[in-house]
Amino acid sequence: MGLMSDPVVVTGLGILGIPPLPDTALLGQHAAVLAGAARHHRLLLQDSGPATRLASANEGPAADVAHAYLTGDGGPQHQTADLADRFTVAAAGLVVSQHLVEWIGTLVAAAAVAAVAAVAFAPHLLPRVTVLARRYMTLLRDALSRIGRIFAALLKSPQARRIDTVAGRLHDTWRASRRLPGGGYEPRIKPTTDQAWIRRNGTDQVDIANTRYRDLPADWQKENKESATVAVRLVSDARKRGDDLTSDEFMETASEKVHVAWLRRNGEWAPPEQQLPYRELSHAEKEKDRVVVREALDP
């Protein structure tokens, strides 16, 4: 931003104790790179069409499995299309971010000029100018923080997004029993050590029952996310092998693996009835593991 390098603005920023804003041209450059990546992936998708049609003309179990993999949710065609879409959205988001930073930067620059004028002609106004400039900077930090979280979500892989979806379902399943007749859930207040969440919310106490999974602090997302990660990978691997995901055999095998992974994470504090091997668990305890697998199987 050329405006921020103006000598008067630089002097004013020094008076206000505000560091210069970053060069927004970098945001534009990153947006151009992402837009180019999106175009590249769309060309790859177009080029893959003839090859896929040729492969689909073959017959036999191996050809069917190969075609299902290439065109399925976890196949290269789906992943390429997904990347192209996410790169396109991210590029557009960076352009919006660039305009936002430049707009707030103009306000901060105006406050810096006002600070210089206040020092020279009306020192009693400097505290007001300082408060105003700090408000602008808070606005900028909050906006960039929100944009950063949006970009982080956009750039997640399809499997990572799937894990988040399943983890959210597990959280909703847990809190369903706490549903109140008039709406909401019976509160469950817990402390958090997630410093970023604490800074955003101004407290280290979170009502995990009345908070959506995506809004939970990281330490209260962790267990559902770990379980979801195991189950999603099990389902994905089984689908690639062509296993029957509707069979009792798959459900029990996957549920046992979910239980084993849970014990590795929580075995030190787990009660005796949960420390047993899966085959020796009660029906109720087995159902806890099966729920994780079912959520991963649901579309």
Same domain, yes or no, for 90 and 139? yes
Q: What is the pLDDT of residue 55?
A: 57
Same domain, yes or no, for 115 and 222? no
* 62 has a pLDDT exceeding 60: no
Residue 206 lies in a domain: no
SS3 state of residue 22? coil
Same domain, yes or no, for 137 and 171? no
Q: How far apart are CA 169 and CA 295, in angstroms?
A: 7
Of the chain, the percentage scoring pLDDT greater than 70 comes to 88
More confident residue, 41 or 75: 41
Closest CA to 137 of 94, 102, 104, 97: 104
More confident residue, 53 or 9: 9
Residue 197 lies in a domain: no
Fill in the DSSP letter of residue 179.
B
Q: Which domain holds residue 269?
A: 163-177+218-297
39 contact partners, CB below 8 Å, separation of at least 6: none
Same domain, yes or no, for 90 and 172? no
Same domain, yes or no, for 93 and 122? yes
Work out the average pLDDT over 212-239.
95
Same domain, yes or no, for 133 and 9? yes
Q: What is the pLDDT of residue 20?
A: 75
Q: How far apart are CA 71 and CA 81, in angstroms?
A: 11
Same domain, yes or no, for 144 and 224? no
Residue 202 lies in a domain: no
Is residue 170 very low, low, confident or very high in pLDDT (cuts 50, 70, 90)? very high
How many domains would you assign to the chain?
2
Work out the average pLDDT over 36-40.
90
Count Cβ atoms below 10 Å from residue 229 Cβ, excluding itself. 19
Residue-wise pLDDT tens digits, 113-168: 999 999 999 999 999 999 999 999 888 888 777 777 767 766 677 788 899 999 99
Q: Which of 24-33, 68-77, 153-162, 174-183 has the highest mean pLDDT?
A: 174-183
Residue 284 lies in a domain: yes
* 58 has a pLDDT exceeding 70: no
Return mean pLDDT, the chain.
87
Of the chain, the percentage scoring pLDDT greater than 90 comes to 56
Residue 117 lies in a domain: yes
Work out the average pLDDT over 55-66.
57
Work out the average pLDDT over 231-241.
92
Fill in the DSSP letter of residue 277.
-
Q: How far apart are CA 195 and CA 86, in angstroms?
A: 29
* 285 has a pLDDT exceeding 90: yes
Is residue 5 very low, low, confident or very high in pLDDT (cuts 50, 70, 90)? confident
Q: What is the pLDDT of residue 95?
A: 86
Q: What is the pLDDT of residue 294?
A: 96
Same domain, yes or no, for 14 and 77? yes
Is residue 79 very low, low, confident or very high in pLDDT (cuts 50, 70, 90)? confident
Phi, psi of 205 (to 5 degrees): -110, 130
* 266 has a pLDDT exceeding 80: yes
In the beta sheet, which residues pair with residue 179? 185
Residue 186 lies in a domain: no
Q: What is the pLDDT of residue 76?
A: 72
Q: What is the pLDDT of residue 104?
A: 87
Residue 213 lies in a domain: no
Least confident of 1-10, 56-65, 75-84, 219-228: 56-65
Same domain, yes or no, for 118 and 170? no
pTM of the entire predicted model: 0.61
Residue 204 lies in a domain: no
Q: What is the pLDDT of residue 261?
A: 97
Same domain, yes or no, for 53 and 21? yes
Same domain, yes or no, for 18 and 76? yes
Question: Which pairs with CB-CB distance under 8 Å and at least 24 residues apart come from 185-194?
Answer: 185/209, 185/210, 190/220, 192/217, 192/219, 192/220, 193/217, 193/219, 194/218, 194/219, 194/220
Structure tokens at 269: 């504090």
Is residue 256 very low, low, confident or very high in pLDDT (cuts 50, 70, 90)? very high
* 42 has a pLDDT exceeding 90: no
Same domain, yes or no, for 134 and 172? no
